[in-house]
Structure 1
Amino acid sequence: MEAIPRFSNRLLSLSSINPNTKSLITPFLRLQLSQIPTFNQLPISPNPLKTTRFFLSTKTLNPSSPPSTSITRAGWLLGLGNNKRQKQLPDLVKAGDPVLHEAAREVDPKDIGSEKIQKIIDDMIGVMRMAPGVGLAAPQIGIPLKIIVLEDTKEFISYAPKEEIKAQDRRPFDLLVIVNPVLKKKSNKTALFFEGCLSVDGYRAVVERSLDVEVKGLDRYGQPVKVDASGWQARILQHECDHLEGTLYVDRMAPKTFRTVENLDLPLAVGCPKLGAR
């Protein structure tokens, strides 16, 4: 998911904004870097809830090194890639590549601790943070395995309007690595918000997602992990788990809500669903 930060800073820390940086971008969208839009700039009549956005930033991938100049942008669940990719990181795979439209394979638990799988996980984290995004699935770097990573930080979330954060029920969480995730919806409650994707640059669409989910799997050390998530974190988990089944957010989008990032502020067409929780 793109803006998805750094899917938050989600993976990246926002220390400063480089005014000379031009377009990019969230998993979620090539936007010209400009003043961060306010919640009021996203009119969605007649629903008082405005369109959801993610504000991302990029930083050095080495947490022990001094913070580098950050670039803040809207996206995410972003959808705009950072052109300054480090050479050692794999490229993001874009929509149309078969790996994004076919089901991924489970990872043999005995292989999780191997150098190969650990490198894949490290690459995924690096690509997610560099993009930036709040989540990433292995197929997005061309590897058809069931592995997802996601992260959202307090610092990154602080750059979004308070009204938006509240509407999204967005709260920070530390880096999560889940191998062979199995997602279960825990309630019938849903919400509709705009999503983007790092593999579908420059576009957004409204997607209805469950508000409460449970995900079970294995962590990067092969140990069982269970995540009970709600709100925005639940949305990210659903977005990334969809990737493992060969499903993109555009396969689930509400008709007539698909748009370019440049038109994200425009009102929804007549007949489109209202944004927010149901």
Structure 2
Amino acid sequence: MTASATLEAPTSPGEPSTHSAAPQAAFDSLNVRFAGVGRSFGGRPVLRDISLEIAPGEVLAILGTSGCGKSTLLRALAGLDTGFTGELTIAGKPVQPYDDRTAVGFQEPRLLPWRSVRRNIELGLPRELSKAEGRARVDELLELVGLAERAHLKPREISGGMAQRASLARALARRPGVLLLDEPFGALDALTRLKMQDLLLDIHAQTGTTVLLVTHDVDESLQLADRILLLGKDDGAAAEGATAKRLLTVPGRRPRDRASADLAELKSQLYAGLGVDAH
């Protein structure tokens, strides 16, 4: 794939690998478009000529080596970084500073230690909601992430996995059209990580929101994504900065069989794209 190639969204967004559950509280999922997006720091290009479309309700995993600009791409889409070049739109309109059509979940839960789980989730509520509406929405989110019985506890009184669930609920509180997750499970142990992956699939099935997931984990990207964007430097390219090196569609419906031969082949391709010998 050349650096200037435009990566189009699938004809039927998310359809090839949708989770089996039907949405119960669907959000207004939004499409995303990158057109020639780049970012430099101190004159050094980090990202260049990123062009792709993400369909409403799609789950896109962003995979790449450390320092290739994965988190930078998310920050630009969230309106947390306005120094990029090119065009970046959500639902056909340019991204705005601190764009409230998006919400971000980070690797660390970033919960306020003096507030309960419930009150941490409340921080994500839009201001226009009444108290009754806000209370009802938080109740709904607590049920969604399985924390209804722990809503009164402080962050120090819950596990790391529970804290990450609370962080996800806070990000979902304003019903974002685009959910941006920056290695949200990277600090968790292996078993908790698998459980959180299943939870994210359940949340996506319930809400239908568009998801961009930054991860270093090839297996995680194969389990969760409709498509995987591999960021990196084009082989043999003289230009600096990472670009859209590959865009791969993940076969099969979610939840997927981790032992699938189709996934094994794709896994090998992804490792090769990352410069890793998987054998």
- Length-normalised TM-score, structure 1: 0.26
More helix, by proportion: 2
- Length-normalised TM-score, structure 2: 0.26
Give the structure with higher Rg (CA): 2
